[in-house]
């Protein structure tokens, strides 16, 4: 890999991280926005509805951007999308009411949809199939890191400088990477496919582009069906987990924390609980290794990770923290002090890290499977389609969580209803594991079909 290709990958990974940081800010401050813009924390549901709408917008536009990315030059598309969301996040800082916030965030969602699907197809064309899991684990990890950065920005700036300040910070930081983006390169489609190497050695290019009639082949591909379904169910869970800082804020209210203190400490706890996601690199590497032995390898590792993570996450939610607010001075020293002195909180933290670690097996192997079972000119579209269906699931997550919360409030009270609602949400991940097992049955055939088609096309062009 030459230096410019490496530089391009780094810039794309950073942009993916900033993209997810921007997405994570609003869910992290829903309670604070409700208090500041709507005047009542009990109107938090309106902010959650905006989170759901924005998630749906990102998902739908991701499919459109992905289709365009399989048809047109991807570098320009990524630039357009990035500029749109950065400008809209900057304008969000000037929102004076809920309507202005909604308008700016919805338009930001249109730009944010480009990064996932178009960026994915670019990364896949820079790495070979044998290293796809490891490379995409770094890409996926950058998104998890972006989520954590978004939480931290919200924690560090929202309470002290105003709820809108995090949007200003993320937009200013992103401008520098927009400038750096101009020096990246446009990858050759299919350049790292083993079956196409002789074609590129002859100085020719892989000229196939998606056609409208190809959409039927994409959605009837058996592996794609199971990958789409697993993502949709998983994202119901992840959609609810996106507001974990606010969930922790409600739980902390039981120990006497104010809204601002709960927002700060809850956001920091949620960010720390993301640390297990770094193990996606390990699971991406293991997926590459196991995939060489059996074409079911990536699917099996993903299913194992999901099934193992569910009980750990539920345990983390239900363990009482027994915090003493008299020792609170600032969120960072308080949280780390509790880790050193509060055994129950330490156990919850360990469970959460291992839950995030096991769940991290999903994303790199899912990304790699999308590349494995689809032709080069179909990957952006399929990834955009999974983002669309994922977005439906992700947007339903807060709605379903709110439904559980309403049903549980008379039983366990307002604050705990959010916690137990999150517990019930975790059972959507069971379906995710089952669909990965079904993918394990279908993937070998689809992978062999892709290889056969690429070999045939290469022979025809040489």
Residue 115 burial by Cβ neighbours in a 10 Å radius (0-12, 13-18, 19+):
buried
- What predicted TM-score, i.e. pTM, was given to this entire model? 0.80
What pLDDT does residue 29 have?
A: 81
- pLDDT at res. 373: 94
Closest CA to 44 of 58, 36, 257: 36
Identify the pLDDT of residue 142.
82
Distances (CA, A) of 47 to 17, 162, 188, 432: 23, 16, 42, 28
How many Å apart are CA 404 and CA 406, to the nearest integer? Answer: 5
Specify the pLDDT at position 273.
67
Number of H helices and number of E strands within the chain? 21, 0
Q: Which domains does the chain have, with CATH numbers?
A: 3-461 (1.20.1250.20)
Specify the DSSP class assigned to residue 186.
P
Q: How many CA atoms lie within 13 A of 216 on its CB side?
A: 2
Q: What is the pLDDT of residues 7-51, one digit of tens each?
A: 888 888 888 889 889 988 888 887 788 877 877 766 777 787 888
- Which residues of the chain are under the pLDDT cut of 70? 1-2, 41-42, 263, 273-274, 461-462
Give 254-312 as a DSSP string: TTT--HHHHHHHHHHHHHHTTGGGGGHHHHHHHHHHHHHH-TTHHHHHHHHHHHHHHHH
Distance CA 49, CA 324 (A): 33
């Amino acid at each position: 890999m030459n230096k410019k290709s490496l530089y391009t990958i780094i810039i794309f990974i950073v942009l993916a991280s900033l993209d997810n940081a921007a997405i994570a800010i609003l869910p992290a401050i829903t309670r604070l926005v409700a208090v500041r813009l709507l005047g009542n924390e009990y109107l938090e549901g309106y902010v959650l509805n905006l989170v759901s709408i924005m998630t749906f917008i990102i998902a739908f536009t991701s499919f459109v951007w992905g289709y365009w990315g399989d048809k047109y030059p991807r570098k320009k598309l990524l630039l357009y999308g990035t500029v749109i969301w950065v400008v809209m996040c900057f304008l969000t800082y000037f929102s004076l009411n809920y309507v202005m916030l909604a308008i700016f965030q919805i338009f930001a969602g249109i730009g944010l949809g480009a990064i996932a699907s178009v960026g994915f197809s670019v990364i896949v064309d820079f790495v070979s199939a044998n290293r796809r899991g490891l490379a995409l684990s770094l890409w996926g990890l950058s998104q998890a890191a972006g989520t954590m950065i978004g939480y931290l920005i919200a924690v560090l700036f929202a309470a002290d400088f105003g709820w809108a300040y995090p949007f200003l910070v993320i937009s200013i930081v992103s401008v520098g990477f927009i400038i750096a983006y101009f020096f990246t390169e446009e990858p050759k489609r299919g350049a790292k496919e083993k079956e196409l190497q002789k074609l590129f050695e002859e100085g020719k290019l892989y000229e196939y582009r998606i056609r409208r009639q190809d959409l039927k082949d994409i959605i009837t591909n058996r592996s794609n069906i199971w990958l789409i379904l697993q993502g949709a169910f998983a994202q119901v869970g992840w959609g609810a987990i996106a507001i974990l800082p606010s969930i922790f804020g409600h739980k902390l209210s039981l120990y006497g924390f104010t809204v601002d203190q709960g927002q700060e400490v809850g956001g920091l706890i949620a960010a720390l609980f993301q640390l297990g996601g770094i193990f996606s690199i390990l699971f991406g590497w293991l997926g590459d290794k196991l995939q060489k032995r059996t074409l079911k390898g990536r699917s099996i590792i993903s299913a194992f990770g999901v099934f193992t993570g569910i009980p750990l996450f539920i345990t983390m939610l239900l363990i009482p923290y027994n915090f003493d607010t008299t020792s609170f001075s600032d969120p960072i020293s308080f949280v780390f002090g509790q880790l050193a002195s509060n055994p129950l909180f330490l156990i919850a933290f360990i469970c959460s890290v291992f839950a995030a670690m096991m769940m991290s097996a999903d994303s790199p192997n899912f990304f790699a499977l999308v590349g494995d079972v689809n032709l080069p000119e179909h990957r952006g579209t399929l990834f955009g389609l999974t983002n669309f269906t994922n977005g439906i699931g992700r947007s339903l997550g807060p709605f379903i969580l709110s439904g559980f919360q309403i049903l549980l409030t008379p039983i366990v009270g307002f604050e705990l209803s959010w916690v137990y609602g999150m517990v019930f949400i975790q059972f959507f991940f069971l379906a995710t594991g089952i669909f990965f097992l079904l993918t394990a049955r279908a993937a070998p055939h689809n992978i062999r079909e892709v290889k056969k088609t690429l070999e045939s096309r290469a022979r025809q062009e040489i």
